[in-house]
Structure formats: C-alpha cells, structure tokens
C-alpha cells in the first residue's frame, strides 16, 4: 500500500495563468507515481470579509477541488482579519484555525496522511508543523526562499520560523548555499540537500542526432527571467554585450525572455548604448516557448545576483546547452566542470570574458555530458529516490 502524502505549498499554479510554484506542481506529479498524493493550497487573501463570512470560514471553510493532474488539489482562499502589525498574531491564529477545520474534513475521505510535505517555511511550513502536532503526522519542510532572511522581518516571524525549524521532522534545502543560509539563523538543525526536480522528459535536445554542439551564425546567447528585476542582473549582461561590441566582437545576438518592472528600463538601456542590433527582447514566455528558445539558441546565460537553485539553468542544461552563470548560490550546485562557466556576480567584464571565450572557441562543450549531468542528479528518477529516502527515514 502506498504511503499517503499531503503536500502543503506556499506557492502553487492555477488555471488563471499564475505559474508561481509550477516546480512544486511538477514534483507533486512525479511523487504521485510512487505515493498516494494530495495537495492542500491554503492561500491567504489580502482582502477583508464581513463578520458572517469570517465565522462561516471557521465553521465550514469553502474548498475548491481540482483533479486534472491525476491527484486531488484542494484550494482555499482565507481572508485576513487585519493588516495592523500589532494584531499580526491574530491573523496567524485565524489562518491556522480555518485550515485545521478544513484539514479535519479532508482527511475523512483522503485518509490520514503518513507525511505532510510542506514547501516554504512561512506560512506553509509553520502550518504543516501545527497540523502535524495536532494529528500526530510526520512533517517534512522543503525550503526554496532566498535570501532566507525574507522570512525574518518581524519578531513574530522569527519566532515562528524558529519554532518550525526545530519542530518539523526533516528540513530540506534545494542547494548547499541555501542550507548554509538557514544555518546562519538556526545552526544546530540537520538539513538535507535535494535539488529541485527537472522535467528531463520535457526539456530535451531537439533530436538525438543533434547532441553534437551545433552552433548558429551569428552565435545565439539566451537569458530568461520570468520576472525582470534588478536582482536578475540583466543590466550587467547588457553591459557585457556593450563591452564586446566596443571590442568589435560582432558575431553574436543576445535574446532576452521575460517581463517585469525592469523591462522598459532595460530596453531603453540597450537603445542608449547603441547595441539594439545585438539584443532581441522576447517578452513573457510560456513553458513551451522557453523550451523552443532554449533548443534554438546556443548557450544560456544567468547573470542573476542571487539564486537558491536555478531552474532555468538546469532546464537549459537538460537540453544539452552549456551555460554561463554567476556564483550566487544555486548555480554552483548545478554547474559542474565541463558543463559551463561560472563568473563573478555583478561583474560585466567577467561576463564579457566568458562570452568571448565561447565565441572564440577557447572552450568547447559536449551536450551529451551536459544533459547527463542533470538527468543523473535532478531527473525524475533521482528526485523520487532522494525524497523516498527522506520519507523512509522518518
């Protein structure tokens, strides 16, 4: 009989076009092949409700169900009582009481789970920890957030994070860098490192015959950020392109995917530097379009200033593409010797030198080895094996 697992994520995609947490959904899909999986998504709204509605949520929490992925996803929208920091603890208490009531109803037909697997310490990890205590269920917490200090902004948050980390049965970080970050706050806990699942069945080279490193003319660099902000470091990459342009290195194009607050500023920067002929903006991309652009470009660049893992880096490598990535946490865990180049973050000169070394042929990569590096460590088989070992150790 399969173990029963209930996944409680802080982020989870929906049918309204919100793809946040799609990697957690992919993990749930894979784990459902080995375990009896259900997902509880308790989303706390920023809006307020009348007294009767608040009472109804406590007595009979409204839940929407989705079974489109082969397992059941129970979604809840829970109102906040107040935005006043002085009453922060009241919000937390109400949030837990509503979810606890819903959970007590859900396990009547789901069955009592063997494991609650939460993703992100606040609010999901804290919530799973409380439910685990109440119903005597083992709890695993996988942390994704970087910097981890994001969860430590108020005394109450720090207290809840401290309580959660010390009370759950296992803590998992998606990279050694994130584990070290968590240890800065709570040095005495055990932390396992399990990288995110990469859909190597989806992110593949175009064909087996194209595993040789075939490049385009001009050479095609690609960078993608689902949300273009200063933290993604794209402006440093544009500066690197400008450096190469001034050195009369012409035989390349940089494609930039994504949208966000910095989109207009980055386009203006490209125009003002006079490099519009070298940079193409692609806008927001679906997952299918991400795959298409990875497959038809030659090398992926991640100029980010901070990554706890680096999903797009690993997805590009799964397609056999070499990468240039900054040393900013997660990439050091993903990029192995012979699969790409690591450079200093916020350093356009270092980026430009790495790009030039590829364009001049000073370095060469074997796509088959690059892909195998991802399949063996972050593919579905490796992911299920690693998580199963954690579940079995509880």
**Cα–Cα distance between 78 and 99 in angstroms, integer?**
8
pLDDT score for 44 = 82
Task: Single out the residue of 384, 378, 393 nearest to residue 30, CA to CA.
Answer: 384
8 Å CB contact between 334 and 309 = yes
Q: Return per-residue pLDDT of the chain as tens, 394 residues.
A: 899 999 999 999 987 667 789 999 999 999 999 999 999 999 887 666 666 777 777 888 889 999 989 999 999 988 877 666 667 888 899 999 999 999 999 999 999 999 999 999 999 999 999 999 999 999 999 999 999 999 999 999 999 999 999 999 999 999 999 999 999 999 999 999 999 999 999 999 987 544 444 568 899 999 999 899 999 999 999 999 999 999 999 899 999 999 999 999 999 999 999 999 999 999 999 999 999 999 999 999 999 999 999 999 999 999 999 999 999 999 999 999 999 999 999 999 999 999 999 999 999 999 999 999 999 999 999 999 999 999 999 9
* Helix spans in 247-324 (H): 263-273, 287-295, 311-318
3-state secondary structure of 95: helix
Show the 3-state SS of 200-221: CCCCCCCCHHHCCCCCCCCEEE
pLDDT score for 89 = 86
pLDDT score for 361 = 94
- Find the farthest-apart pair of alpha carbons in the chain and give their distance in angstroms, rounded: 70
* Location of structure tokens 């009592």: 112
**Cα–Cα distance between 40 and 117 in angstroms, integer?**
10
- R_g over Cα of the chain: 23
Structural domains in the chain?
4-197+379-393 (3.40.50.2000), 208-377 (3.40.50.2000)
3-state secondary structure of 67: coil
Q: Taking the CB of residue 349, how many other CB atoms lie within 10 A of it? A: 13
Reported as half-sphere exposure (CB side, CA atoms, 13 A), residue 257 has a value of 22
Q: Taking the CB of residue 187, how many other CB atoms lie within 10 A of it? A: 7
pLDDT score for 17 = 65
8 Å CB contact between 172 and 178 = no
3-state secondary structure of 32: coil
**Cα-Cα end-to-end distance for the chain:** 17
């Amino acid at each position: 009989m399969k173990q029963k697992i209930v996944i409680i994520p802080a982020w989870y995609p929906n049918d309204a076009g919100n793809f946040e947490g799609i990697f957690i959904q992919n993990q749930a899909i894979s784990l459902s092949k080995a375990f009896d999986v259900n997902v509880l998504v308790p989303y706390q709204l920023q809006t307020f409700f009348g007294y009767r509605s608040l009472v109804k949520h406590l007595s009979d929490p409204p839940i929407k169900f989705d079974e489109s992925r082969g397992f059941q996803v129970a979604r809840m929208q829970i109102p906040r009582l107040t935005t006043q920091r002085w009453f922060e603890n009241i919000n937390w208490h109400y949030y837990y009481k509503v979810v606890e009531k819903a959970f007590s109803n859900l396990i009547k037909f789901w069955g009592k789970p063997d494991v609650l697997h939460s993703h992100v310490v606040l609010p999901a990890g804290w919530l799973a920890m409380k439910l685990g205590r109440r119903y005597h269920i083992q709890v695993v917490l996988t942390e994704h957030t970087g910097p981890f200090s994001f969860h430590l902004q108020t005394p109450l948050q720090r207290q809840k994070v401290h309580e959660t980390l010390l009370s759950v049965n296992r803590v998992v970080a998606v990279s050694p860098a994130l584990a070290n970050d968590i240890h800065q706050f709570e040095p005495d806990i055990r932390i396992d490192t399990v990288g995110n699942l990469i859909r190597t069945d989806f992110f593949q080279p175009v064909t087996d015959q194209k595993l040789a490193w075939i490049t385009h003319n001009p050479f095609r660099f690609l960078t993608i950020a689902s949300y273009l902000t200063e933290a993604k470091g794209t402006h440093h990459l544009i500066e690197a392109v400008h450096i190469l342009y001034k050195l009369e290195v012409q035989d390349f194009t940089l494609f930039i995917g994504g949208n966000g607050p910095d989109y207009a500023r980055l386009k203006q920067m490209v125009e003002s530097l006079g490099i519009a002929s070298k940079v193409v903006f692609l806008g927001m991309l679906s997952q299918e379009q991400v795959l298409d652009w990875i497959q038809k470009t030659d090398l992926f660049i991640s100029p980010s200033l901070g990554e706890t893992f680096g999903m797009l880096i690993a997805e590009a490598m799964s397609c056999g593409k070499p990468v240039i990535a900054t040393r900013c946490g997660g990439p050091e865990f993903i990029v192995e010797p012979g699969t790409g180049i690591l450079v200093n973050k916020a350093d356009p000169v270092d980026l430009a030198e790495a790009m030039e070394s590829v364009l001049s042929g000073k370095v060469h990569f074997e796509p088959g080895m690059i892909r195998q590096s991802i399949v063996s460590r972050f593919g579905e088989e490796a992911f299920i094996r690693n998580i199963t070992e954690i579940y079995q150790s509880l």
